[in-house]
């Protein structure tokens, strides 16, 4: 069996932490038990490019129980939990190619190692696996039945590929399922980003100006949690509707140029490139904390920052202090990579339960229905989304009302008005 991990001896810690996460993943657990009996993925090779966390560990085990051969590489060089990788290799025979802190070159070597496993289905988080396949490994494309994509950034890339007519197999946009982005992107990112910032800095958030760049689902969650810690939240946006929503949610909205002068914490969650640039860094106060929780490390213009800095030093794990030529200090967290996975452990298991239940059910759906697909990006079927919502609510012990017959009829009628 092939693999490339840091240290197999870390497996014991990984086992316990994967079990700990499983306690909060009851929906995935039910799917795992059904998969174990029915083996819907028998004979299928799944190649995954995901953050190698305890939650991903539980997903990989579920797919394996379903009869699949599973290989995984990291979807970010800094997000791998090495003990998880060790346990998956040692106890489950899952081929993991991921080491926390791997270089960009090794990151792509690992992606290619997963492609060497000849996947029938890809499971991507950010679309690096899919883009490598389309750029460098076109020979493998004929093998593919379909794929899934976990995150907003990846779905944007894939839709752009589909629009240009270059996408060569069907992919399901797991991110766009309601039971994914309503919860994972909002509550998951909200909590885990704050967790990452606090673990990295141990700074007090209360009473500070906390600037959130981007008010999509992730920005909404982050703003809500920063406010909960007592920060004065400032939102920056380029989208009028999102900006309006932020205003009505009670946040100050202003251009980044102005926010730069008064912020204490800055966090980007836009999915776009060079959001915080040289001109903003120059205006910032001395000692500010700047980080990113968007998928790629492109949101902070670190090249621009380096060009106006005269010194750099590592203050503590994941904190790099830049001294600018104007004498002010800027602290960059986690090299501008997603701080919730670099300095913390990513989203809590309870939300990943729904994201990864969608992943598992979508893989099953692809295996059953791939012959009917075209080479485009598909929404997660409503039935899958609603099944996940139903299972999660039940697992939480929450009961809801049913429509009465009269109400059901009313909703389909038009005659009755004032």
Nearest approach in angstroms of CB 153 to ligand ADE is 12
Q: One symbol per residue from 340 to 369: x for binding ligand ADE (CB under 6 A), - otherwise; what is it? A: -x----xx----x-----------------
Query: Pick from 78, 148, 42, 117: which is nearest to 366 by CA?
Result: 148
Q: For the chain, give the longest Cα–Cα distance.
A: 74
Nearest approach in angstroms of CB 51 to ligand ADE is 4
> Could you tell me which stretch among 3-11, 45-53, 93-101, 168-176 binds ligand ADE (CB under 6 A)?
45-53
Q: Which of 15, 32, 51, 87 binds ligand ADE (CB under 6 A)?
A: 51
Q: One symbol per residue from 164 to 193: x for binding ligand ADE (CB under 6 A), - otherwise; what is it? A: ------------------------x-----
Q: How far apart are CA 150 and CA 270, in angstroms?
A: 16
Query: Pick from 124, 63, 125: which is nearest to 95 by CA?
Result: 63
Nearest approach in angstroms of CB 406 to ligand ADE is 44
> Could you tell me which stretch among 46-54, 107-115, 199-207, 261-269 binds ligand ADE (CB under 6 A)?
46-54
DSSP for 84-145, please give it.
HHHHHHHHH--EEE--TT--HHHHHHHHHHHHHT--SEEEESSSHHHHHHHHH-GGGGGG--
Q: Which of 27, 49, 53, 129 binds ligand ADE (CB under 6 A)?
A: 53
Query: Pick from 65, 69, 71: which is nearest to 35 by CA?
Result: 65
Residue 334 within binding range of ligand ADE, rule CB under 6 A? no
Considering CB under 6 A, how many residues would be counted as binding ligand ADE?
Answer: 10
Nearer to ligand ADE, 57 or 119 (CB): 57
Residues 6+ apart with CB under 8 A from 174: 148, 149, 150, 180, 355, 358, 359, 362, 380
**Tokens 């797919």 belong to residue:** 63
Nearest approach in angstroms of CB 48 to ligand ADE is 10
Query: Pick from 178, 87, 174, 188: which is nearest to 123 by CA?
Result: 174
> Could you tell me which stretch among 49-57, 116-124, 228-236, 327-335 binds ligand ADE (CB under 6 A)?
49-57
Residue 56 within binding range of ligand ADE, rule CB under 6 A? yes
**120, 147 Cβ separation under 8 angstroms:** no
Q: How far apart are CA 120 and CA 117, in angstroms?
A: 9
**Strand pairing category for 288-292 and 319-324:** unpaired
Q: Which of 32, 41, 55, 88 binds ligand ADE (CB under 6 A)?
A: 55
Residue 115 within binding range of ligand ADE, rule CB under 6 A? no
Binding region for ligand ADE (CB under 6 A): 50-51, 53, 55-56, 188, 341, 346-347, 352
């Amino acid at each position: 069996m092939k693999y490339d991990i840091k240290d197999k001896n870390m497996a014991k810690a990984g086992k316990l932490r994967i079990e700990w996460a499983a306690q909060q993943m009851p929906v995935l657990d039910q799917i795992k038990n059904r998969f174990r009996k029915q083996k819907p993925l028998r004979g299928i090779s799944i190649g995954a490019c995901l953050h190698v966390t305890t939650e991903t560990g539980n997903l990989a085990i579920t797919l394996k129980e379903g009869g699949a051969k599973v290989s995984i590489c990291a979807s970010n060089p800094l997000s791998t939990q090495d003990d998880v990788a060790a346990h998956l290799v040692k106890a489950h025979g899952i081929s993991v190619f991921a080491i926390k802190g791997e270089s960009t070159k090794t990151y792509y070597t690992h992606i290619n190692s997963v492609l060497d496993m000849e996947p029938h289905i890809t499971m991507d988080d950010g679309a690096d696996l899919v883009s490598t396949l389309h750029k460098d490994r076109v020979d493998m494309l004929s093998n593919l039945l379909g794929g899934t994509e976990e995150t907003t950034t990846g779905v944007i890339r894939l839709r752009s590929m589909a629009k240009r007519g270059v996408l060569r197999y069907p992919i399901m946009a797991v991110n766009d399922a309601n039971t994914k982005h309503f919860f994972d992107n909002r509550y998951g990112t909200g909590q885990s980003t704050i967790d990452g910032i606090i673990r990295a800095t141990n700074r007090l958030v209360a009473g500070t100006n906390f600037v959130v760049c981007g008010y999509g689902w992730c920005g909404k969650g982050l703003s809500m949690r920063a406010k909960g810690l007592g920060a004065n939240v400032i939102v920056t946006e380029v989208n009028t509707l999102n900006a309006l929503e932020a205003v009505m949610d009670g946040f100050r909205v202003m251009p980044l140029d102005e926010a730069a002068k008064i912020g204490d914490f800055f966090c980007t969650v836009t999915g776009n490139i060079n959001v915080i640039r040289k001109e903003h860094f120059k205006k910032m106060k001395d000692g500010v904390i700047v980080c990113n929780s968007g998928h790629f490390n492109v949101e902070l213009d670190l090249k621009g920052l380096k060009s106006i800095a005269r010194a750099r030093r590592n203050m503590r794990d994941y904190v790099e202090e830049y001294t600018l030529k104007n004498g002010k200090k800027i602290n960059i967290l986690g090299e501008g990579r997603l701080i919730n996975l670099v300095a913390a452990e990513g989203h809590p298991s309870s939300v990943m339960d729904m994201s990864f239940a969608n992943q598992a059910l979508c893989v099953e759906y692809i295996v059953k229905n791939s012959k009917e697909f075209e080479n485009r990006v598909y929404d997660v079927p409503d039935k899958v989304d609603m099944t996940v919502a139903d299972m999660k609510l039940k697992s939480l012990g929450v009961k809801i009302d049913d429509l009465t017959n009269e109400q059901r009829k009313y909703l389909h009628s038009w005659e009755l008005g004032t």
